[in-house]
Amino acid sequence: MNAPSSGSSSSRPPKRRFRKKFAGKRPHQSGHGALADQPAAEQQAPVPSGPPKLAEGFAHLGLAECLLRSLGDEGYDTPTPIQSKAIPHVVQGRDLFGCAQTGTGKTAAFALPLIHRMLENRPEIKPRRCRTLVLAPTRELAAQIHESFRSYGRHARLRTAVIYGGVGQHKQARDMMKGVDVLVATPGRLLDLIGQRLVDIRGVEFFVLDEADRMLDMGFIHDIRKVVGMLPAERQTLFFSATLPAEIRSFAESMLRDPLEVKTTPQATPAETVAQSVIFVPKAEKKTTLIDLLRNEANGRVIVFSRTKHGADKLQRDLTKAGLVAAAIHGDKSQAQRERALAAFKSTRPPVLVATDIAARGIDVDDVAYVINYDLPIEPETYVHRIGRSGRAGQSGTAISLCDTEELSKLIAIERLLKRELTSRNQRPAAASPPARGPGRRGPPGQANGKRRGPPPRAFSRSKKPRTADAAPNPHRWSKPRNSTSN
Ligand SMILES: Nc1ncnc2c1ncn2[C@@H]1O[C@H](COP(=O)(O)OP(=O)(O)OP(=O)(O)O)[C@@H](O)[C@H]1O
Ligand SMILES: [Mg+2]
């Protein structure tokens, strides 16, 4: 599953032995004019060399030694804040809500203690059953979480499976035949296989909803209720997300038993490693503004978010016509196309990835330098997740939102959620300012309201990349080394 790193000639430190399935190689910084590489080569099993390295910084969390070895392999030294806070409670069997910023290691915060719990006793698993069930909103995220369990559990002889739609069910049904320790799934295909009696979730001991607020909103709640209705009452349940709106939280509590809320920051706090700004631009000029940004500023790995699938396709065509290399990922693409787009995005010559919100949550690709919101999202929480594709694991990133006059109310909703105004790169229209000013105003004062920050959109140049005032230097003691590609 993991491969020795290759393909880079920079003076970075030696590559680690493990490569994340969903992590990209560092991209060339040559803009988007070149053809994308072929998808990354198949990953290989790690080659053990020398005595096992234990992640000493995790030792006090009470995790099994085989997990400390996996973390040593991964190159993790220190737990992230959510890992320090959540792991001891999960090990003790508590139900919890875990809320922490994007890219701060929530996956390991539930995967590690659950593997530990499963190792405490190892009953025989019945055919088609699983001990741990993790649900995620998208196929790509389910596959990524599955890879994380495999990586963290590599010394624990875990049996795992992943189930999602868009591909044949045969392999998935076969993987489940003897039963597994960990099943990661998207809800639709899971219910389908349960209906065909190919999967049985009545023996689940540990249940996780990743991106819990998304899983409990209109799109999924019906399926989630069905799944929860089939689970044993006696189970440990964990909900994780970077955003947990109050409405969802109170409703979610009915699915948890005496839950603990473990937060590292207030919910919906964006990753502070991401420099955020907004450009006010008429709708008709959005396309040229985007192309200018891509040509003159936004190099490396860039995701451009579009609100609609149709819009994503059109944008991909427009970027291609402009001589840029772009790939689109959205729900109307075949799974093979989705996988190809993501693999190309992780290559050393990544195309601009034009995506709908199927790529907004959870997806972990190293070195995403820019997130550009071509359209603002309808749900303000989605903004936090979108920009969180960048600035992960202590790396820095930049998020730029293009806002036209019809989107001002969406911008205001986002700023209300963030409790601050975004730095504007050009003149902020009066209608984009909240009515309340003076003592009661929201957001830090004096942050460029109405003031021009940097040159207007057309004038951005590579050498004078505007950095906004709101990007903090890397605050994480636990940051991955720059060459890290684990997970
Ligand atoms: N203790 C650690 N030390 C170094 N790197 C870590 C550590 N824990 C996790 N990481 C790395 O941090 C990155 C982000 O982790 P993860 O995907 O779990 O974040 P997340 O909090 O779930 O983000 P999101 O809210 O976007 O889903 C991954 O590449 C992971 O390998
Ligand atoms: Mg996550």
Kindly state whether residue 291 falls inside one of the protein's structural domains. yes
Final residue before a domain boundary, out of 388, 406, 432: 432
Check residue 77 and give its pLDDT.
93
Ligand 1 site, residue 243, Cβ cutoff 6 A: no
**Boundary-marking domain end, from 234, 263, 292:** 263
Whether the pLDDT of residue 233 is over 90: the answer is yes
Query: Looking at the domain assignment, is residue 479 inside a domain?
Result: no
β-pairing, 130-135 vs 397-403, is unpaired
Collect all residues with Cβ–Cβ distance below 8 Å to 302 and sequence separation of at least 6.
32, 294, 350, 352, 353, 368, 369, 370, 371, 372
Residues 248 and 299 in one domain: no
Placement of tokens 């009915």 in the chain = 254
Both 251 and 285 in one domain: the answer is no
Return the ligand 1 atom nearest residue 362 CA: 27
Please indicate, yes or no, whether residues 128 and 242 belong to a single structural domain of this protein: yes
Residue 451 lies in a domain: no
Provide the residues around ligand 2 (an ion) whose CB is within 5 A. 106, 362
* Same-domain check for residues 229 and 286: no
Domain extent at residue 194: 42-263
Q: Which residue has the higher pLDDT, 151 or 473?
A: 151
Q: CATH no. for residue 383?
A: 3.40.50.300
Residues 235 and 141 in one domain: yes
Q: Which ligand is nearest to the CA of 479?
A: 1
411 and 296 within one domain: yes
Tens-place pLDDT, residues 260-298: 999 999 999 999 999 999 999 999 999 999 999 999 999
Model pLDDT for residues 3-39, shown as the tens digit of each residue: 333 333 333 333 332 233 333 456 765 455 433 333 3
Single pTM value for the model = 0.85
Our CA dihedral for 305, 307, 313, 314, rounded to 10 degrees, sits at: -100
- Condensed to tens digits (0 to 9), the pLDDT of residues 393-440 reads 999 999 999 999 999 999 999 999 999 999 999 999 988 876 544 333
Band of residue 247 on the pLDDT scale cut at 50, 70, 90: confident
In a domain, 454, yes or no: no
In total, how many domains does the chain have?
Answer: 2
> 452 alpha carbon to ligand 1 midpoint, in Å?
35
486 lines ligand 1 (CB under 6 A): yes
In-domain check, residue 406: yes
**Distance between CA atoms of 74 and 229, rounded to whole angstroms?**
37
Is residue 460 situated within a structural domain? no
Closest C-alpha to ligand 1, atom 14: 103
Ligand 1 binding pocket includes 245 (Cβ within 6 Å): no
Q: Check pocket membership of 480 for ligand 1, CB cut-off 6 A.
A: yes
| Boundary (domain end) residue, out of 201, 232, 263 | 263
Whether residue 106 has its Cβ less than 6 Å from ligand 1:
yes
89 and 151 assigned to the same domain: yes
Whether residue 282 is contained in a domain is answered as yes
Tell me the three state secondary structure of residue 191.
helix
Per-residue pLDDT of 63-121, as tens digits, reads 999 999 999 999 999 999 999 999 999 999 999 999 999 999 999 999 999 999 999 99
CA 103 – ligand 2 centroid, Å: 7
Provide, for the chain, the percentages of residues in helix, strand and coil under a 3-state DSSP scheme, each rounded to the nearest 5.
35, 15, 50
Ligand 1 neighbour 364 (Cβ under 6 A): yes
Q: Closest ligand 1 atom to the C-alpha of 83?
A: 1
Minimum-distance ligand to the CA of 100? 1
Ligand 1 within 6 A of CB of 70: no
Ligand 1 contact, 242 CB (< 6 A): yes
- Same-domain pairing of 93 and 211: yes
Residues 401 and 426 in one domain: yes
Strand partners, 180: 130
Both 278 and 259 in one domain: the answer is no
Residue 392 beta carbon below 6 angstroms from any ligand 1 atom:
yes
Q: Are residues 192 and 80 in the same domain?
A: yes
User: What's the CA gap between 168 and 485, in Å, rounded?
Assistant: 29
Is the domain of 305 the same as that of 256?
no
In a domain, 470, yes or no: no
